[in-house]
């Protein structure tokens, strides 16, 4: 997309009552990044616009969107940084400047290639009284990983390790499953392209596809159509990187490396209102399917030590196919 198209999309996806403020932010970013270009050759401001669009599409409020739009203005602008900060406060307020400064702090925390990744994650979360800078950094990283092929080859390895071991886990911690999955998939595709294509082909040959997931989803919806209140159902196809890790674990354990042994390639989370309804839904599904009893867990009656509750495990619904799926049944409170 061109800079103009990105500007229009950002204004369209941002809160309409603050469109004039977003327009000021766009002008501010364009001025700061004037004559700056990405390694791909595109204007640098396009990256700032895409970062802000991601945040707007996530439903973030205006200051967070502005923080994403301006996150590189202090570190990358050729002007006097103190003057830029003063202008930012005058135009957008202290909160936006604080978000930009905190984003720069995350950049410094992740700059080291020697510090253990878990220590970095704990440091970021322990110092994040406000999670908005973490969200901005995730949106920034998501755009960077989408264009990572333009980065010099000697820098790609360390960047990908940070994506896989810092930013994807942060996204998981914040329950940003879509962002986590895209970060992992894109990084893995660049880092180990042969393994990526191998797993992708294995999943395709096993018919682990969006269309099959949709077939299961429609079947489950119909099966539970007269349950009151109507449950919410989330579904997903397991990511290629996550599948690779499961197969790698099989290899390390000395077992037979077989994608069919992975029981959660297709997974469904069913959310209802009470624990009793969780059991009612399970009973309904057992009428039409076969539970693998030895692998099915009742964490409602016997919660995990960390308090996690759910009915979960592998299930076969032969009226759809012979693929085993994973089902989690929870209440809103458990979710």
Rounded to 10°, the helix 94-109/62-69 angle is 50
- The per-residue pLDDT for 273 is 93
**Would you say residue 9 has pLDDT above 90?**
yes
Q: Which residues contact 256 (CB under 8 A, 6 or more apart)?
A: 250
With respect to residue 16, please indicate whether it lies within any of the assigned structural domains.
Answer: yes
Residue 297 and residue 214 share a domain: yes
* Residue-averaged pLDDT of the chain: 91
Residue 82's domain is classified under what CATH number?
Answer: 1.10.3210.10
Residue 38 and residue 122 share a domain: yes
Q: What is the number of domains present in the chain? A: 2
Q: Which residues contact 178 (CB under 8 A, 6 or more apart)?
A: none
Domain endpoint, select from 160, 191, 222: 191
5: confidence class by pLDDT, cuts 50, 70, 90 = very high
- The per-residue pLDDT for 239 is 93
Residues 18-31 pLDDT 10s: 999 999 999 999 99
- The per-residue pLDDT for 24 is 95
Residue 107 and residue 43 share a domain: yes
Residue 213 and residue 302 share a domain: yes
Instruction: Give the end-to-end CA distance of the chain in Å, rounded to a whole number.
Output: 37
With respect to residue 197, please indicate whether it lies within any of the assigned structural domains.
Answer: no
Percentage of residues in the chain with pLDDT exceeding 90? 67
- The per-residue pLDDT for 254 is 67
**Would you say residue 157 has pLDDT above 80?**
yes
Residue 260's domain is classified under what CATH number?
Answer: 3.30.460.10
With respect to residue 13, please indicate whether it lies within any of the assigned structural domains.
Answer: yes
Residues 99-143 pLDDT 10s: 999 999 888 888 877 778 888 888 888 877 889 999 999 999 999
DSSP 234-268: EEEEPPHHHHHHHHHHHHHTTS---GGG-TTSEEE
Residue 206: closest CA among 241, 235, 237: 237
Q: Name the residue range of residue 138's domain.
A: 3-191
Residue 249 and residue 180 share a domain: no
- The per-residue pLDDT for 68 is 96
Residue 80 and residue 165 share a domain: yes
Residue 225 and residue 306 share a domain: yes
Integer CA distances (angstroms), 47 to 6, 40, 71, in order: 10, 11, 10
Domain endpoint, select from 191, 225, 258: 191
With respect to residue 76, please indicate whether it lies within any of the assigned structural domains.
Answer: yes
Residues 54-87 pLDDT 10s: 999 999 999 999 999 999 998 887 767 888 899 9
Domain endpoint, select from 191, 210, 243: 191
With respect to residue 281, please indicate whether it lies within any of the assigned structural domains.
Answer: yes
CA 330 – CA 334 distance, rounded (Å): 6
Place of tokens 């077989």: 258
Q: Which residues contact 262 (CB under 8 A, 6 or more apart)?
A: 238, 243, 246, 247
335: confidence class by pLDDT, cuts 50, 70, 90 = low
Residue 221 and residue 179 share a domain: no
Percentage of residues in the chain with pLDDT exceeding 70? 98
With respect to residue 196, please indicate whether it lies within any of the assigned structural domains.
Answer: no
Residues 301-324 pLDDT 10s: 999 888 889 999 999 999 999 999
| C-alpha torsion sign, points 112, 116, 121, 126 | negative
Across 47-54, average pLDDT? 97
Question: What is the phi/psi pair of residue 319, to 5°?
Answer: -70, -15
Q: Which residues contact 186 (CB under 8 A, 6 or more apart)?
A: 145, 146, 148, 163
- The per-residue pLDDT for 212 is 94
Residues 183-199 pLDDT 10s: 999 999 999 999 999 99
- Contact, 272 vs 331, CB < 8 A? yes
- Contact, 311 vs 299, CB < 8 A? yes
Residue 20 and residue 143 share a domain: yes
Residues 257-278 pLDDT 10s: 788 888 999 999 999 999 999 9
CA 233 – CA 270 distance, rounded (Å): 5
With respect to residue 275, please indicate whether it lies within any of the assigned structural domains.
Answer: yes
- Contact, 53 vs 6, CB < 8 A? yes
Residue 263 and residue 146 share a domain: no
Residue 241 and residue 184 share a domain: no
CA 80 – CA 88 distance, rounded (Å): 12
CA 121 – CA 106 distance, rounded (Å): 10
Q: Which residues contact 17 (CB under 8 A, 6 or more apart)?
A: none
With respect to residue 86, please indicate whether it lies within any of the assigned structural domains.
Answer: yes
CA-CA-CA-CA torsion for 159, 197, 57, 213, nearest 10 degrees? -140
- Contact, 135 vs 60, CB < 8 A? yes
Residue 172 and residue 71 share a domain: yes
- The per-residue pLDDT for 113 is 73
Q: How many CB atoms lie within 10 A of CB 322?
A: 9
Count Cα neighbours of 111 within 13 Å in the Cβ-side half-sphere.
7
């Amino acid at each position: 997309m061109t800079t103009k198209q990105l500007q229009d999309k950002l204004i369209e996806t941002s809160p309409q009552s603050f469109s004039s403020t977003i327009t000021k932010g766009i002008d501010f970013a364009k001025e700061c990044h004037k004559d700056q270009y990405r390694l791909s050759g595109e204007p640098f401001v396009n990256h700032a616009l895409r970062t802000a669009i991601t945040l707007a599409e996530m439903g973030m409020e205006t200051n967070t969107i502005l923080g994403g739009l301006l996150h590189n203005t202090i570190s990358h602008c050729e002007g006097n940084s103190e003057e830029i900060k003063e202008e930012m406060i005058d135009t957008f307020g202290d909160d936006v400047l604080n978000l930009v400064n905190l984003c720069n702090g995350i950049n410094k925390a992740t700059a080291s290639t020697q510090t253990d990744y878990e220590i970095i994650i704990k440091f970021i979360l322990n110092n994040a009284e406000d999670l908005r800078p973490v969200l901005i950094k995730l949106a920034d990283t998501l755009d960077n990983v989408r264009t990572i092929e333009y980065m010099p080859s000697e820098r790609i390895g360390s960047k990908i390790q940070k994506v896989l071991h810092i930013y994807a886990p942060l996204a998981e911690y914040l329950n940003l499953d879509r962002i986590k999955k895209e970060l992992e998939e894109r990084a893995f595709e660049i880092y180990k392209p042969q393994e990526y294509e191998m797993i992708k082909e294995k999943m395709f040959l096993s018919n682990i596809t969006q269309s099959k997931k949709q077939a299961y989803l429609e079947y489950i919806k119909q099966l539970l159509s007269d349950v009151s209140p109507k449950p919410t159902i989330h579904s997903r196809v397991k990511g290629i990187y996550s599948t690779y890790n499961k197969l790698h674990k099989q290899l390390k354990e000395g077992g037979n490396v077989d994608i069919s042994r992975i029981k959660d390639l297709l997974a469904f989370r069913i959310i209802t209102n009470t624990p009793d309804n969780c059991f009612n839904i399970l009973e309904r599904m057992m009428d039409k399917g076969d539970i693998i009893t030895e692998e099915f867990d009742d964490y409602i009656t016997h919660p995990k030590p960390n308090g996690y509750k759910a009915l979960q495990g592998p299930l076969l619904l032969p009226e759809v196919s012979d693929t085993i799926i994973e089902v989690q049944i929870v209440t809103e409170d458990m979710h």
